[in-house]
DNA sequence: ACCAATTTGTCCGTATGTATT
DNA sequence: AAATACATACGGACAAATTGG
């Protein structure tokens, strides 16, 4: 999309009827994608409903249903007599690298960034967590449920596990400092780095729609990874869900 | 998903009515996601329709519609009196790193891997391509449209741009060798590495659904990046779309 | 102040698709 | 397989707000 010649042409995209996805939703997805690819003009104004209807080959009401959904999502805003406008133009770029830290990574992209601890608990590690942290299955771990915000908008929703014996007080530190980096430092781990990350994409489930304020059918990017300390010993396993509409990930070398 | 306690529990996920996605399709998406997360047993057998219906809180007819669609897509296969089975179990893991090469990256995960050149052309670089390759806007570049397959299944669909003056014969080389690495070597560039990659996720557009054989509403992972030669000079800008159902990306350090 | 053109908002009715029983 | 309820899609008509002459 980014590297296409056209100026707002939105390639007469064929809609598919009878495939279990309503036309208005397909059109909504097209409009969402079209934003930032020249569909809206320089003021963020969309073409009028009648023109969009003609372009998609549907009734104006169907376009209106799509726009209504996007307004409900907070993507668009419309004013009677004036037109329909895009609310947020740009997507945040979140770095995935050896030294990823939430706040530092978004520096310069959002005025206000913060991490909120939603919940925490001690529990026995399941097979995946145990393997990732190099612990025996069933060993106690501490799980943190966190929400990352940028300028008040939910950006990421993560679940992290730490060894309960090595980081018994991690939850309190995170609650106090609002920072994993500082909480680890208070626990005695001054430095850490990302050992591996896998990235997948899927539809938002209801946890995602609630915590990240998404609409059903929205997409989340899921990054799973392990942080290790200076000696290469695993200290944190985490799984982070990003709103695909609001962020893109960038793999930085270094 | 991966790191959740349950064995096949599939978290009573609430379905949403009136959101533009038919229930049978939502259930289909859930089943697709549930595969590989313990929904199917060790033989790849799904729970019986009646049980799925109870689990999702819908009528059995609706589950049957979902299964029928997944059978049509080639994800499931069902046998009267025996049950419904998963065709492909695992998702491929595609490495994104400094030394990403399609075929080598999937080694061991698929018996047969190949890259097919769908189309190629010479064109003036647009702003994005020119910036990525460090060329002046409007300079001629060669664009390659490629399809990556693993065991005959389309995995990735990429568009790449090369400087037309530095790599005038790249299309022919790729067509002959079915490999970017070898085509670059024939052009005199023995070594290259990935300088940067950004990853986003979005709904499949009709190009994607056609080339990657996806159903509308499916998700694609989009990786955009630049390859540079030994001296750090950009030689290739590419944009690759992966089927999010079939592939996950992994960021390898090194 | 007025008018015409443009654009979104609301209402009617009808046909088809989806989901349940 | 059939009856029912609701969501989706279409078509047309008009009201309400904005813009510019």
Best of B121, B122, B216 to substitute, by most chain A Cβ atoms within 10 angstroms, is B216
Among chain B residues, CA nearest to A243 = B201
User: Which residues does chain B have within 8 Å of residue A65's beta carbon, measured at their own beta carbons?
Assistant: 20
| R_g (Cα) of chain A, nearest Å | 21
Q: Which domains does chain A have, with CATH numbers?
A: 2-86 (1.10.10.10), 92-251 (3.40.1410.10)
CB atoms within 10 A of CB B70: 25
pLDDT value for B224: 94
Q: What is the pLDDT of residues B87-112, one digit of tens each?
A: 876 788 998 877 777 777 778 888 88
Per-residue pLDDT of chain A (254 residues; tens, 9 = 90+): 333 333 344 445 667 887 788 899 989 988 988 887 789 988 899 999 999 999 999 999 999 999 999 998 888 999 999 999 998 767 899 988 877 777 777 888 888 888 999 999 999 999 999 999 999 989 999 999 999 999 888 999 999 999 999 999 999 999 999 999 999 999 999 889 999 899 999 888 878 888 998 877 788 999 999 999 989 999 999 999 999 988 999 987 65
Best of B16, B193, B201, B206 to substitute, by most chain A Cβ atoms within 10 angstroms, is B201
pLDDT of B6 higher than 50 = no
Gap between the Cα atoms of A118 and A128, Å rounded = 22
Q: Which of A28, A203, A239 sits opposite B29 (nearest CB)?
A: A203
Among chain B residues, CA nearest to A69 = B19
Tell if the CB–CB gap between B3 and A196 is shorter than 8 Å: no
Length of chain A equals 254
Parallel/antiparallel/unpaired status of strands B153-163 and B234-243:
antiparallel
Query: Distances in Å between the alpha carbon of A43 and those of A86, B71, B98?
Result: 9, 46, 39
DSSP state of A192: E
Which residues 183-242 in chain A show a CB within 8 A of chain B? Answer: 194-203, 205-206, 215-217, 219-222, 224, 237, 239
User: Which residues does chain B have within 8 Å of residue A244's beta carbon, measured at their own beta carbons?
Assistant: 200-202
- Asked if residues B199 and B123 have their Cβ atoms less than 8 Å apart, the reply is no
Over pLDDT 90: what percentage of chain B?
43
A47 CA: distance to closest CA in chain B (Å):
20
Q: For A151, what's the count of Cα atoms within 13 Å in the CB-facing half-sphere?
A: 10
Q: Which of residues 1-40 of A touch strand C (CB under 7 A)?
A: 18, 20
Tell if the CB–CB gap between A217 and B248 is shorter than 8 Å: no
A-B contacts (CB, under 8 Å): 159
User: Which residues does chain A have within 8 Å of residue B236's beta carbon, measured at their own beta carbons?
Assistant: none
Nucleotides on chain D that have an atom closer than 7 A to a protein CB are 6-12, 16-19
Confidence of residue B142 (pLDDT cuts 50, 70, 90): very high
pLDDT value for A89: 67
B109 interface with A at CB cutoff 8 Å: no
Q: What is the pTM of this model?
A: 0.84
Angle, helices B60-73 vs B23-34, to 10°: value is: 60
Helix (H, G, I), strand (E, B) or coil at A248: strand
Q: Which of B33, B197, B244 sits opposite A250 (nearest CB)?
A: B197
User: Which residues does chain B have within 8 Å of residue A95's beta carbon, measured at their own beta carbons?
Assistant: none
Residue nearest to nucleotide C16 (CA to C1'): A18
DSSP state of A179: -
Token pair listed for A171: 């939850």
B56 interface with A at CB cutoff 8 Å: no
pLDDT value for B11: 45
- Find the range with the poorest average confidence among A195-199, B50-54, B212-216: B212-216
Q: For B143, what's the count of Cα atoms within 13 Å in the CB-facing half-sphere?
A: 18
User: Which residues does chain A have within 8 Å of residue B14's beta carbon, measured at their own beta carbons?
Assistant: 206
pLDDT of B2 higher than 50 = no
Q: What is the pLDDT of residues B10-43, one digit of tens each?
A: 444 567 787 888 888 888 888 887 776 778 888 8
- Asked if residues B241 and B202 have their Cβ atoms less than 8 Å apart, the reply is no
Which one, of B75, B58, B77, lies nearest residue B214 by Cα? B75
Rounded to whole angstroms, the distance from the CA of residue A138 to the C1' of nucleotide D20 is 73
Among chain A residues, CA nearest to B240 = A1
Q: Which of A24, A132, A203 sits opposite B219 (nearest CB)?
A: A203
pLDDT value for B7: 35
B129 interface with A at CB cutoff 8 Å: yes
pLDDT value for A187: 94
Rounded to whole angstroms, the distance from the CA of residue A81 to the C1' of nucleotide C4 is 14
């Amino acid at each position: 999309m980014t590297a296409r010649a056209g100026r707002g042409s939105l390639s007469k995209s064929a809609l598919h009827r009878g495939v279990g996805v309503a036309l208005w939703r397909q059109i909504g997805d097209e409009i969402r994608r079209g934003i930032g690819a020249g569909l809206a003009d320089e003021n963020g104004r969309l073409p009028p409903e009648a023109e969009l209807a003609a372009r998609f080959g549907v009734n104006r009401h169907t376009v209106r249903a799509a726009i209504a959904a996007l307004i409900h999502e907070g993507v668009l805003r419309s004013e009677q007599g004036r037109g329909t406008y895009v609310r947020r133009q740009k997507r945040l770029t979140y770095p995935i690298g050896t030294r990823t830290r939430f706040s530092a990574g978004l520096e310069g992209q959002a005025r206000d960034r913060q991490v909120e601890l939603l919940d925490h608990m001690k529990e026995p590690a399941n097979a995946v967590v145990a393997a990732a942290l190099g612990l025996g299955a069933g060993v106690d771990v501490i799980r943190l449920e966190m929400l990352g915000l940028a300028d008040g908008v939910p950006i990421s929703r993560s679940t992290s596990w730490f060894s309960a014996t090595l980081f018994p007080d991690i939850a309190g530190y995170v609650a106090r400092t609002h920072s994993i980096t500082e909480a680890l430092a208070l626990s005695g781990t001054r430095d850490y780095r990302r050992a591996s990350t896998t990235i997948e994409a899927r539809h938002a489930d209801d946890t995602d729609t609630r915590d990240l304020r998404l609409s059903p059918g929205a997409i989340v990017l899921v990054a799973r990874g392990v942080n290790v300390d200076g000696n290469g010993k695993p200290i944190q396993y985490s799984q982070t869900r990003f709103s695909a509409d609001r962020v893109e990930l960038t793999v930085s070398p270094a």
